[in-house]
Structure formats: structure tokens, C-alpha cells
A = this chain, B = another copy of it.
Amino acid sequence: MATLDLDPAAGAFDPADLQRTLDGRYADLRARIREVMSRPEFEPPVEISREAYRALVMDWARRLAADGMTAPGFPVQYGGEGDFGANVAGFETIAFGDLSLLVKFGVQFGLFGGAVQQLGTAAHHERYLRDIASLRLPGCFAMSEAAHGSDVQNLLTTATYDRDTGEFVIDTPIDAAHKDYIGGAARDGRMAVVFAQLHVGTQSHGVHALLVPIRDEHGSVLDGVRIEDDGYKLGLNGVDNGKLWFDHVRVPRENLLDRWGGVSTDGVYSSPIENPTKRFFTMVGALVQGRVCVSGASVSAAELALTIAVRHGLRRRQFGPDPGHEVPILDYRVHQRRLLPRLARTYALHFAQAELRERFHRVMSAPEEVSDRERRELESLAAGMKATASWHATDTIQACREACGGAGYMAVNRFAALKADTDIFTTFEGDNVVLMLLLARGLLTGFAEQFTGLSPVAMASFLAGQAAEVVVERLFARKIAQVVGDWVGGDEEDLLDPAVQLALFQWREGHITASAAQRFRRHIKDGHAPFEVFRSIEDHVVDVARAHMATVQLEAFRRAVRDAPEGPVRAALSQMCALFALSEIEREKGFYQEHGRLSGPRCKAVSRRVGELCERIRARAGAYVDAFGIPDAVLRAPIALAGEER
């Protein structure tokens, strides 16, 4: 039996030290928000009617606004701190509290405010940002339509310029074009950023955003606007989602958010970006914050769930060598296997999120200094992280709920809301599958300048135009050079070598990417229609993105280990990083063997190592979750408190 010599002192670390590494440079902001979330009045309701919940959430949002905590990303003169990264870090920390508040907050200050900030120009900022930050102007972000969710480029709402009056006419041309799932629409919103196809004269200029008032200051719906409540939802019932129809609603010319395209009084359209497809992706790209925030909130939700489940696993005793000696359920291998690899993945995502946040901060803080390529890389990474982290949250919260048994089913222990509220994270801000395809597109084309459309046809045609090997070489030359030779059957100790682990991740990514690109090319050459080719290998393409995101996580985790203070904290992270790497390799052992990269005995060795690492990490499991820094007053789940038995 593989036993470990576990020196009780070995591997001990102070969770407060590890927390400092996890909190990173926004530790002060996070501490401030933790304090607010700890206040009794911010306790998430366990059971509440929809109307009362909506009112409570609006009240909470107003309190945060009164405290000036709503929009650190706005310029200082409009109530912010001019710090884009702080926007994200704040959102990540609020996510430990009520998630309807989080989403309400995100809609108002992130999506609505962010659209005005990113798509509008100085006059819009001057006129609106202050009122948005203070919540004097509650707004909506009206992008999705019933018939077009993730396919924004083809939405149907129109904004037609009327030269005679200098107004835009906003219209919902067919019923399926109504805006749907719009947060703030059903109850609180006064104004909406509406995405519509812009028509000037006989010309269409593609999707643009306009500010459209929907209610007066008394809350009455304005003429020409029709609103329906979306009704009860699976979760997030403190957010007032609704549907919006526009019947030839007129807004002044100035209401067009015209940073990327404007119309003069006499009806001349102009834009700093000539190519309409590029313009569209630039506009949408400017809204990347939403995905960065959802990714961060997903990681926080997984941290919260794991904190509850791990603490419960340490306190709850069942079975044992005999009835008088029951053991903590986290001592059972199955329980460890259920929670600890997910804990390792949460750590990996935490650090990947920190890098995403930094990259976002850099791009947004100095847009003029940033290349198109950097911007697109940010968008790809945000898409991949949002999908990866939200799927991880769904999976982890479910595992944690089950690990807490019947107690986990009681709403007071938080999984009820956590599960329900985060469920939509895999869908909103872009359906995860569509986002993974978007990321894969970037990977497969090497962000080629000539290819900026989302259309699968264009993607297929582009790829058909060059040898797959060229694409792959350009992308992975550096990485493939790092890959060690075929060490099937080599020395078992290699498995714990971080360089070997990383090489395996990179080998997988490179191999999947190359083979997907080759399939594209072969089928196109064989004369198949591009769309059919895309359709038939779509699952392979998603795997490209998945493999890439695994590498992204491991690389981020390794950099975090490298940058951590030498000593117990670095050792603790190093151990967790090994569990992450090996449990991912174990999960993909089918692939590694299929492609002759790992032998059967090596795969078995990987599984043994995962088991051993689980035992080691179990010995410090309480400290590892304490380091997430969720105060008891924020955690609130009774099964995770009263720690005397730990």
C-alpha cells in the first residue's frame, strides 16, 4: 500500500500568508468589500418573494453606491478611481455574497456603465457616468434578442436615422427580435443601451449601440416601449430581467454611442474603422470586461463552495474502524477525490484569473499603446476563461453540495443559491460553447490579420489556404521545442517534475491543434462545403480550446509558485500545482495513450501520485480553504462554522 511518511509538521503554513498571495495587489480593496459583505444587512436571504428580493437587491446596490464602491473603473471625476483591474477584483469579492446583488451590480455598473464608458465619447461620459455610478440613473444592457443570443452580429433590432428630425428611430421589426433576459428591464431600468443595426439612408452600417430611455423618472414605461417581465427564473430572482420591444421609438442623434461610428446631422456616417466586421469586433471587444468579471465570479463561487464542503468534510464524522471511532469524511479516499482535485483546479483558475485581470487592466488603461494583437489575445483569453471557469463552478458546486449530503440541501447552507444563481454563468456573456469556438478560431488562425469574421465558412476557407503545419508551427514552435522527447516508460519520478507536466500539457495542445487544422484542410481539399466541414469537426475544435485553457492554467499556476514567497507558502502552492497538473493528465489519460505519449503503466503511476497528493493536501485542507479569505460572517453556512471540531 502506498503510504506516505507524513511528518505532522511538514507542509504546515499560515493561511493568512497564503491569502496574501491569493489576494494579490487588490488586497486592500478586497478587505474593504469583505467588511461590507460581513455586515448583517448584507446577509443573502434564504427565502424571499421575488418582489421583496428585487427591492432588497436594489437597496443593497444603492448602499454600495452611497459608499462609492460601485465603479472604480470609471474616471475619478465621475466617481471612480480610474482603475480597471479594481473593477474586476471588486466584483470577484462581492461574489462571496449574494449573487443577485452581484449581477445587479454587474448590469448597472459593468454592462450599462461600461457600454457608456467604452462605446460612448466625452459628452456621454460627462452627461451620464456620474449618475450611473451613483445609481441615480438605473440602466439596462439590451443586447440579446429572443432569436439571437450569442449571434450578436445578426440581431434584428433597427436604428434608422431620420435626417429631417435629426433622430434615430428604434424599432423591433418582428416579434422574435425583442430584447430578452435584459437585467433591469422588468422593474428598475430608466434607460437602456440598445444594440441595433444602424441604418442611414439606404446604407446599413452593422450593429451599434444607442441610449434609449425606457421609463420616466416616476418609473412609468415610455410611449413606444413595451416591457414584459421574464418572470421567475432558475436563480438570480433578485434581478429584474425582462423583455423589451420598441415601436418606432425616437431618440436624439446624440444618443448614439459614437466612439466607433457616428452620424452627422446631415446623415453622413463615419467611423475610425473602415472594415465593418473589424468595427463590430472592436465594439464587442471593448465590452470584454463582462467576461473577465464572470470568470472571476465563477472562481469565487467555487472557492465559497469548497470552503463550505471542505470544512464540513473535516467536521463531519461517519463510519470508521468501529462505531466508537468514526472518522472525518474527508479521510475517505472517495471524498478526497471528489473535492481535492477540484480545489487544485480552483487554485489554478484563481491564478489564471489574476493574469487575465492584469492583462485586462493593461489593455484598458492604455488603449493607445496596445496592439490589435494584444487586444485580440485578451478577448480570446477572456472568452476561454469565462467558459472554463463557469463550467468549473457548475461542476464544483454540484460536487460540494453532494459532499455535504442532506445538510447541503438546506438553503441556509448556501448551495441552493450558489447552484441556482451561478447556473446561468455558462450561458450569459456568451454561450460557453460559442466562446470556446471563438477562442479556437484565434488559436487555429494565429490571430491572422486577414481573418476577423466569426463565420465558420471564412474560417474554413482561410485554413484551407495554407498548410496546417504552417499554422501550427507558427503558433507552437516555441512550445513544441520545449517538449521533451518521448519518455514513455521512463523514470517514474519524472511525473513530479513540473517541466515534464507542462511539456505534457503543451504536447497535448499542440497535437490537438495540429490535427484539427489538418482535418479542416483535408476536408476542404476533398471538396466538402466549408460549413459542413466546420459542423463535422466542431467537437474537435472545442477540444483545441479546452487543451489550450489547460495549458493557460498550468502556466499561470507555475508563475504564481515561482513568484510566491519562498518557504511554506511556496511549498504549499507547489504541492497544489502538482495535484492540478497530475489530475488533469489523469483525466486525459485516454488521449495520452491514444497518441502514444504515455504508456499504460505510466498512467497508472499518475493515478497513484494523484492519490498520494490528495492525502498530503487533505492534511492541510482546512488551511488551503481558509486562505481564500472568506470571513465566517460572509460564509454564513452553519455547517461550515463552529470550527471547534476541526
A320 to chain B, nearest CB (A): 7
Q: Contact partner of A420 among B321, B416, B433, B542, CB < 8 A?
A: B416
Question: Which residue on chain B has the smallest CB distance to residue A411?
Answer: B232
Q: Please, which residues of chain B bring their CB within 8 A of the CB of A318?
A: 148-151
Within 8 A of B (CB), among A157-209: 180-181
Known: A406-B180, A611-B539. A321 touches B531 (CB 8 A): yes
Interface size on A, residues (CB 8 A): 87
Give A472-491 as 1s and 0s: 1 = Cβ < 8 Å from B's Cβ atoms: 00000000000000000000
A231 & B456 in contact (Cβ 8 Å cutoff)? no
Stretch at the interface among A272-280, A330-338, A378-386: A330-338
Give A428-456 as 1s and 0s: 1 = Cβ < 8 Å from B's Cβ atoms: 10011100000000000000000000011
What CA separation (Å) do A589 and B603 show in the bound complex? 12
Is residue A20 contacting chain B, with contact meaning CB distance below 8 A?
no
Q: Please, which residues of chain B bring their CB within 8 A of the CB of A334?
A: 433, 538-539, 542
B423 & A531 in contact (Cβ 8 Å cutoff)? no
B406 & A398 in contact (Cβ 8 Å cutoff)? no
Stretch at the interface among A349-357, A521-529, A553-561: A521-529
Is residue A26 contacting chain B, with contact meaning CB distance below 8 A?
no
What CA separation (Å) do A154 and B326 show in the bound complex? 11
B533 & A402 in contact (Cβ 8 Å cutoff)? no
Excluding A234-B420, A321-B531, A595-B600, 12 further A-B contacts by CB distance (< 8 Å) are: A1-B523, A1-B528, A46-B232, A149-B406, A180-B406, A181-B406, A331-B535, A398-B398, A408-B427, A409-B423, A409-B424, A593-B600
Which 7 A-B residue pairings sit nearest by Cβ, starting from the closest? A593-B593, A234-B416, A590-B590, A47-B232, A589-B590, A321-B531, A232-B411
Residues of chain A having any CB pair with chain B under 8 Å: 1-3, 46-47, 49-50, 144, 148-151, 154, 180-181, 230-235, 318-323, 327, 331-335, 337, 394, 398, 401-402, 405-406, 408-412, 415-416, 419-420, 423-424, 426-428, 431-433, 455-457, 519, 522-523, 526, 528-533, 535-539, 542, 588-590, 593-596, 600, 603-604, 611
